[in-house]
Amino acid sequence: MKNVLSVFCAVSIGLVSHVTLAADQTHWGYSGDTGPNHWGTLAPDFTTCAKGVNQSPINLTGMVKGELPKLNIQYQAGGTEVLNNGHTIEVVYGKGSRINIENEQFDLKQLHFHSPSENTIEGESFPMEVHFVNADKAGHLAVVGVMFKEGAYNPELEKIWNSMPKKVGQEVALSAAVNINKLLPKQDKYYRFNGSLTTPPCTEGVQWFVMKEPITASKAQIKQFSQLFPHGNNRPVQSVNARMIIQ
């Protein structure tokens, strides 16, 4: 099973940013003629969005049981600034936070949000999802996904929301360090699969780890984010094809 789990492609370190240079130069969005159904035709670099066979997000179903390694998360309180890039709200991180998977270290580069969730679990969509984007020294990416359900007010999330810029292209310094361990569920069980970036250029070879247990945010907190993206900022689920989803 370990050999199966280790079969992932390499990705350039330039893909650590949620939006790459190519994506910055080509207008794309989540609705209309520049929406997800058209991404593959907007630029030559985006063809994987249409032709890729290991695309993300997906509906997690038909899981296969396996001996998954412990997801050793070593995130520190921090974050430098909050960015509104027109597609999401992103928190940029400096050095010091990482995850270790099978003795490989991936450093946290940034985290960002989608509403509604991009991945679904057994067909269930969640009102919001956060992605923690990590990269090793060679540029291989590992993304940890956590679902939000509507419920108790989330004080740690509020630290980000308090600095959340409303204007596209605006960056705001975080007024308080964010303990992102509090944006992770108490249970460390997860699903693992091979996928891609969920935004153009949709490059494949990304290791995905979606936590089984959701965390909560209040109705007002979810609304505060979703109002910035009234058409939603989630890519629809893609075909699983021949991939295994391991739990």
**Mean pLDDT (whole number) for 2-15:** 35
pLDDT of residue 6: 35
At 47-56, the pLDDT tens digits run: 999 999 999 9
Q: Is residue 35 part of a domain?
A: yes
Q: Is residue 180 part of a domain?
A: yes
pLDDT of residue 3: 36
Q: Is residue 246 part of a domain?
A: no
At 177-203, the pLDDT tens digits run: 999 999 999 999 999 999 999 999 999
At 29-51, the pLDDT tens digits run: 999 999 999 999 999 999 999 99
**Residues recognised as catalytic:** 87
Q: Is residue 13 part of a domain?
A: yes
pLDDT category of residue 2 using cuts at 50, 70 and 90: very low
Structural domain total, the chain: 1
| Rounded CA separation 121/190 (Å) | 11
Q: Look at phi and psi of residue 139 and say left if phi exceeds 0, alpha if psi is from -120 to 50, else beta.
A: left
CB atoms within 10 A of CB 81: 15
**Mean pLDDT (whole number) for 165-181:** 94
pLDDT category of residue 25 using cuts at 50, 70 and 90: confident
Where do runs of H (alpha helix) occur along the chain? 2-5, 21-25, 39-42, 48-51, 155-161, 219-226
pLDDT category of residue 1 using cuts at 50, 70 and 90: very low
pLDDT of residue 80: 87
Which three-class secondary structure state does DSSP give residue 5?
helix
Chain mean pLDDT for the chain: 91
| Rounded CA separation 56/133 (Å) | 14
Residue 16 has pLDDT above 50, yes or no: no
pLDDT of residue 94: 86
Q: Is residue 18 part of a domain?
A: yes
Q: Is residue 24 part of a domain?
A: yes
| Closest listed residue to residue 206, CA positions, set 149, 158, 137, 134 | 134
Residue with tokens 């964010």: 178
Residue 164 has pLDDT above 60, yes or no: yes
pLDDT of residue 7: 34
pLDDT of residue 24: 57
How many CA atoms does the CB half-sphere of 98 hold within 13 Å? 12
Residue 49 main-chain phi, psi, to 5 deg: -60, -30
Residue 112 has pLDDT above 80, yes or no: yes
* CATH code where residue 48 lies: 3.10.200.10
Q: Is residue 231 part of a domain?
A: no
| Between 22 and 114, residue with greater pLDDT | 114
Tokens of 137: 């020294």
Residue with tokens 């099973």: 1
Its pTM surpasses 0.85: yes
Q: What percent of the chain has pLDDT over 90?
A: 86
CB atoms within 10 A of CB 69: 13
Burial (CB < 10 A; 0-12, 13-18, 19+), residue 202, is buried
**Mean pLDDT (whole number) for 5-19:** 37
CB atoms within 10 A of CB 115: 23
**Mean pLDDT (whole number) for 166-170:** 96
Where do runs of H (alpha helix) occur along 170-226? 219-226
Amino acid at 100: N
* Pairing state between β 171-173 and 215-217: unpaired
Q: Is residue 97 part of a domain?
A: yes
Q: 126: domain range?
A: 2-226
| Rounded CA separation 179/175 (Å) | 13
Q: What percent of the chain has pLDDT over 70?
A: 90
| Rounded CA separation 133/16 (Å) | 7
pLDDT category of residue 172 using cuts at 50, 70 and 90: very high
